[in-house]
Structure 1
Amino acid sequence: MAGSDVVIVGGGIIGAACAYELARSGASVTLLERDELAAGASGRNIGFFGLPWDPVLDPMATSSLQMYLEVTADPPVPVHFDREPIGTLAVAIDEDDAAMVRDEAAAAGRAGLRAERLDAAGLKELEPEVTADVSEAWLFHEGRRVDPGALTLALAELARRAGATIRHHLPGRRLLSRGETVTGVVTDDGVIECDTVVLAAGPWSTGLLRPLGIHIPVRGARGWLIQLVPPRPLLSHWVEGSARTLWRREVEPVTAGEFSEGVARDDIGAVIQPSPDGTIVAGTSREPALAWSAEDLHVARAVAGCAIRLLPALADAPVLGTWAGIRPMSPDERPFIGWLRHGLFAATGHGSEGVILGGGTAVLVRAMVQGREPPLDPTPFDPLRFG
């Protein structure tokens, strides 16, 4: 097969954004996707965009926002992306949750974002359908809705128009090396030689690295979502409750005990989105996994229970569908972006913030791959930081 300057392995939001950014800079790019574009977590998430309120990650998210506003102003395929934030309502059910929400409000303030505490009357006026059984509620003036699958397709199409080759149903089987230099990717259609391989295959990136003796601790974590048809318009804001009480268990290696114990109560919470099409999408959960399985529908049912607790009127809402995505988690909740060895570059481990960080990741990848000054400090994302 013909060679390329860059071969990108993985056709999710990270791979598509990297293909777009590199191709429009003049690089010859081949993107390999083992399935369809956005078949994984990029097409199977709730579709939220907001700053992480983290001084390390916020500049990358801001870069993503700039890219997405540009791309969706005149997209090659239909894409919904809120031009302005619709706002996020964080609801605390008990005092532990309230303390966490107050921490989030403080983090938002440090990031320069506005957050206001609501009393019972203010909550009732803002979102009358939300349960009154809360200990505290805050309104964050941040949060946009996005169709992540369509955004991925739009970025890939723009990359194709800029000269990139997009290959569906063609996985990268093995990395080709000459000494300590990676020189290409072996596929079922032959070898694609290149100057740089960018690994953007989420938790499946580790399988390509293992034969080279390289280890980065990316773990798959499955998250379930439910799409509901409400009996009437119920929400005008994002609503979040009890969804962030446990963030560590899913990034540990899967053990037999974890399989036997199932999902702990704190692995499950509720984030509820009023979608532009009138439906409501609710999540979220996290459990160790490298594939989604219908056998885990008990988790989806638990997510539904959390959502009903926050929004009781959902109890009578028909279920339109359920689905799960596998998120690539890192131990410190920061992605792996950088050189692994000569000719091999990592862009993975974005966890549940792939859409939020995808565009900014692509801008950083382009600069580093092309030997330019990075737009932000890449040190916190060093893929070899865990040794």
Structure 2
Amino acid sequence: MSKNIVVIGGGIIGVSTAYYLQKEGYNVTVIDKSNMDSGASYVNAGYITPSHFIPLAAPGMITKGIKWMFNASSPFYVKPRLDIDFLKWSLAFKKSATKAKVEKAIQPILDINLLGRDLYEDLKKSNDFNFHYDHKGLLMLYKSDKVGEEEWEVGKKGIQQGLKVEHLSANEVEQLQPNTNLNIKGGVYYHSDAHMTPGVFMKEMISYLEKNGVVFYKNETVTDLDVSSEKITKIVTDKREIEVDEVVLAAGSWSPQITKKLGLKTPIQAGKGYSINVKNNTNITIPAILCEAKVAVTPMEGFTRFAGTMEISGINNTINSKRVDAIANAAQNYYQNVTISNQEKENATCGLRPCSPDGLPYIGKSNSCKNLTVATGHAMMGWSLGPATGKLVSEIIADKKLSLDIASFHPDRKF
């Protein structure tokens, strides 16, 4: 008899997991507290990022975070607050931000990003989907020599890892990206990266899953879990009870609310990111990160998205206009032909990215619960790692050989 599997969370990780589980022949149900048309999986930069092999918890981030703490429009803003979970997470982040731990994290982060890119390309080639996918690389654009040197040091690490990376002058960037009137000193160009339009993919994937028997319970909140002999037997929501054989936790920033019900510790802080969509022609054809401002730029289907900032301020969807203005100002400063209207800024959206203290996702079974597979904590790489995580989860549950070593992502790891 086929197992009944419930996936808690309907973002990119949840729907990707549902896809690979239904391919294995399981009965799959997805529960999400939203209507599944907003949030981080819809407002992100749409990057598939082998270039992002350095975790967020890197040396120097603590110093920058303290400096930026007093500037609400800074690229990385941490709102100080007396919250025990936040304080424990901050301490774990500090412990993780060492050179040795970053070096150890590079290979597993790169491996899972490359797997994610391969799986997106497999999906694109299938007859089931017609989503937007472009493999044009990623430009790291910088204004100062100091930042340029820092970015090229990372680029050289990328070359050592087998990626194709080039250090370009401002003129060379202009040749790649003409008619944008760039105000930069140069750029580091990763050929490895690709980009998408997230909302298009999410809509297609959900439609495909519904047609293929996956059940969706939207606008529904998990309120309790029945546990017997270290196994979840029933999921209780505000609308129904569901008997389960296996459970996948893919609830993003809300995941700790679920694991606490099981007595498990899954340190996560919500990292809020903002995005602005510009529909007039910007002439931007290659995705870029504006290094000093930490703003991501993506040419999407019918518009250009300017996204960015990391705001650690708890679970809330409050739009901070100062942070929106900072993204718009950076965009117009680097791309001098770009104009972002007040209306476009007023239409800005935000999403909450689940950040682990060490910058690595949680993927795998917890030792404390036999039929729970955790799939969360992907931070800014959630979009890039969606299919890879879904594939790995399906392999875990089907007891198949894993596509890659996931020891670094163990949900019970200590900080």
Question: Aligned pair 1:313/2:337, yes or no?
Answer: yes
Distance 1:130 1:239, change over 3 A: farther
> SS state of the match for residue 159, structure 2?
helix
User: Structure 1 residue aligned with 2:214, among 164, 169, 194?
Assistant: 164
Corresponding position of 2:13: 14
Question: Aligned pair 1:56/2:56, yes or no?
Answer: no
Report how many residues are paired: 356
Letter in 2 for 1:88: L
Letter in 1 for 2:308: T
**1:380 & 1:153 partners in 2: Cα distance?**
32
Q: Equivalences for 1:1-387 in 2 at 5 Å?
A: 5-51=4-50, 52-53=52-53, 54-74=106-126, 79-82=131-134, 85-129=135-179, 133-230=183-280, 232-242=281-291, 268-277=293-302, 279-288=303-312, 289-294=314-319, 296-315=320-339, 319-320=343-344, 321-340=347-366, 341-386=369-414
Letter in 2 for 1:311: Y
Q: Is the 8 A contact 1:222 1:286 kept in 2?
A: yes
Q: Is the 8 A contact 2:196 2:300 kept in 1?
A: no
**2:11 & 2:202 partners in 1: Cα distance?**
6
> SS state of the match for residue 57, structure 1?
helix
> SS state of the match for residue 236, structure 2?
strand
Structure 1 vs Structure 2 CA RMSD: 2.3
Q: Is the 8 A contact 1:24 1:162 kept in 2?
A: no
TM superposition score normalised by structure 1:
0.85
Deviation of the 1:38 alpha carbon: 4.7
TM superposition score normalised by structure 2:
0.79
Q: Is the 8 A contact 2:183 2:336 kept in 1?
A: no
Distance 1:102 1:131, change over 3 A: farther
Letter in 2 for 1:12: G
Deviation of the 1:221 alpha carbon: 0.7
Instruction: Extract unaligned runs of 5+ from structure 2.
Output: 54-105
**1:382 & 1:93 partners in 2: Cα distance?**
39
Deviation of the 1:77 alpha carbon: 6.3
Deviation of the 1:39 alpha carbon: 2.6
Deviation of the 1:239 alpha carbon: 2.1
Q: Is the 8 A contact 1:177 1:184 kept in 2?
A: yes
Q: Is the 8 A contact 1:77 1:150 kept in 2?
A: no
Q: Is the 8 A contact 1:229 1:318 kept in 2?
A: no
> SS state of the match for residue 360, structure 2?
coil
Instruction: Extract unaligned runs of 5+ from structure 1.
Output: 244-267
**1:67 & 1:127 partners in 2: Cα distance?**
28
How far does the alpha carbon of each residue in 1:269-307 deviate from its partner, in whole angstroms, 9 at most, with x for none?
A: 222222232x3211211101312213x121010111111
> SS state of the match for residue 312, structure 1?
coil
